[in-house]
Amino acid sequence: MVYWILLQKSFMRNMQYKVAHLINNAASAIFGFVFIAIWVGVLQGKEHESPYSALDMTYYIAAVQCILWLSGFLTAGLNIQNGVRNGAISLELVRPTNFFLYVTSQEAGRLLYNFFFRSIPIGLVFALTVGFYVPQHLPTYLILCISIFLAVIISINLHYLVGISACWTTEIAWAHFVNFTLLVGLGGQLVPIDLLPAPLSFITPYLPFAGAIYYPVMVFLEKASSEVLFIQLFWAIFLTLINLWLTEKARHKLEIQGG
């Protein structure tokens, strides 16, 4: 199947930059150490006031740093904006393939690469230094796989949304900035969203950003029930439908303009 081949090719293309990525992994681990140090410093002597202990937060940040490479650090606009700028999108949209799957399968290949060459090495660094949580119950692993899968779909869709908006706006740098900020800020990268001040702590659990980072991490730490999967599933389906609709709109717009 063509999308599977695209996924494989994207994986192989990323393999060319293994060494550079390993250096970047070291930096990513340092970011993790900084965030862990902040939490350990903050919670010192105050653990009784917090639902999380210093060790909990160490595990939380370590897991976040790993999952960020699967659902946080995606290609800006999935590069759709480049095709809009140089006109290549007119050809890509008339190809006998589904444009949405054509773009997202390539990103999926990159994320699969990230899992093996970013998430796992970074996780190992934490495991050897500050410690890394290991789920204790067997069903957690199954729920975790589903949760991560849905997180990836949500995040790919959020980035696709930014990318396809280029058909109307051309420039997407600012939209990517905003999307990324909301993703890491309201997704719980530094602060678990239940610790955010009200009203943010009431709203954020129902936003797609939590589904991309916070929920898979909480499932991994066995601090969330499997019910959170329904929130993730809702956003995965909703965003996919929105994007398929927008892709049709974009195609229609191109046809009117004549490419």
Partner 1 sequence: MNLYIKLISGSLRSRMQYKMNFLVSSLSYGLIMAVDFVLLAAILQRFDDVKGWNLYEVGLLYGISSVAITLYRVFCVEVHNFERYMIEGEFDSLLIRPVSPLSLLLTRNLDLSRIGGTIQGILILVISIIGLNIKNVELFLLLIYLPISILSGVIICFSLGLLTATIAFWTQRIKDFQTFTLYAPFNAANYPMNIYPGWLKIIFFTVIPVGFMNYTPILFLLNKGGTLWNLALPPAVAFVFLFLSLRFWHFGIRHYHSTGS
Q: Pick the binder of partner 1 from 3, 50, 115, 194 (CB under 8 A).
A: 50
Separation between Cα atoms, residue 174 and residue 68, nearest integer Å: 20
Nearer to partner 1, 26 or 127 (CB): 26
Which window, 2-10, 34-42, 63-71, 236-244, contacts partner 1 (CB under 8 A)? 34-42
Which of 1, 46, 128, 257 is the binder for partner 1 (CB under 8 A)?
46
**How far is it, in rounded angstroms, from Cα 166 to Cα 157?**
15
Buried b (16+ CB within 10 A) or exposed e, 49-64: eeebebebbbbbbbbb
Q: Does residue 173 interact with partner 1 by CB under 8 A? A: yes
In single-letter form, the type of residue at position 40 comes to: V
User: Apex CA 159: angle with CA 157 and CA 106, to 5°?
Assistant: 80
Any contact of residue 23 with partner 1 (CB under 8 A)? yes
94 binding partner 1? (CB under 8 A): no
Report, in Å, the least distance between residue 201 CB and partner 1. Answer: 9
Q: Taking phi first (over 0 means left), then psi (-120 to 50 degrees means alpha), and beta for anything else, what does residue 131 get?
A: left
Which residue among 6, 7, 10, 21 contacts partner 1 (CB under 8 A)? 21
Check residue 227 for interaction with partner 1 (CB under 8 A): no
End-to-end CA distance of the chain: 28
The pair of three-digit structure tokens given for residue 196, joined into one six-digit string:
């955010």
CB 79 within 8 A of CB 163: yes
Selected binder of partner 1 within 54, 101, 146, 185 (CB under 8 A): 185
Establish if 128 lies at the interface with partner 1 (CB under 8 A): no
Considering only 5, 34, 127, 241, the residue that binds partner 1 (CB under 8 A) is 34
Tokens 């599977």 found at: 4
Which position among 12, 15, 26, 145 is part of the footprint of partner 1 (CB under 8 A)? 26
DSSP assigned state of 98: -
33, 132 Cβ separation under 8 angstroms: no
- 159 in contact with partner 1 (CB under 8 A): no
Judged by CB, which is closer to partner 1: 200, or 237?
200
Is residue 84 within 8 A of residue 167, CB to CB? The reply is yes
**Binding of residue 31 to partner 1 (CB under 8 A):** yes
Show the site string, 186-215: x = touches partner 1 by CB under 8 A, - = not: ----xx---xxx--x---------------
Neighbours of 85 (CB within 10 A): 13
Tokens of 237: 């389906």
Applying CB under 8 A, among 3, 38, 55, 79 the residue interacting with partner 1 is 38
3-state secondary structure of 100: helix
What is the rounded CA–CA span in Å between residue 44 and residue 147? Answer: 32
Which residues here bind partner 1, judged by CB under 8 A? Answer: 17, 20-21, 23-24, 26-28, 30-31, 33-34, 37-38, 40-44, 46, 49-50, 171, 173-174, 177-178, 180-182, 185, 190-191, 195-197, 200
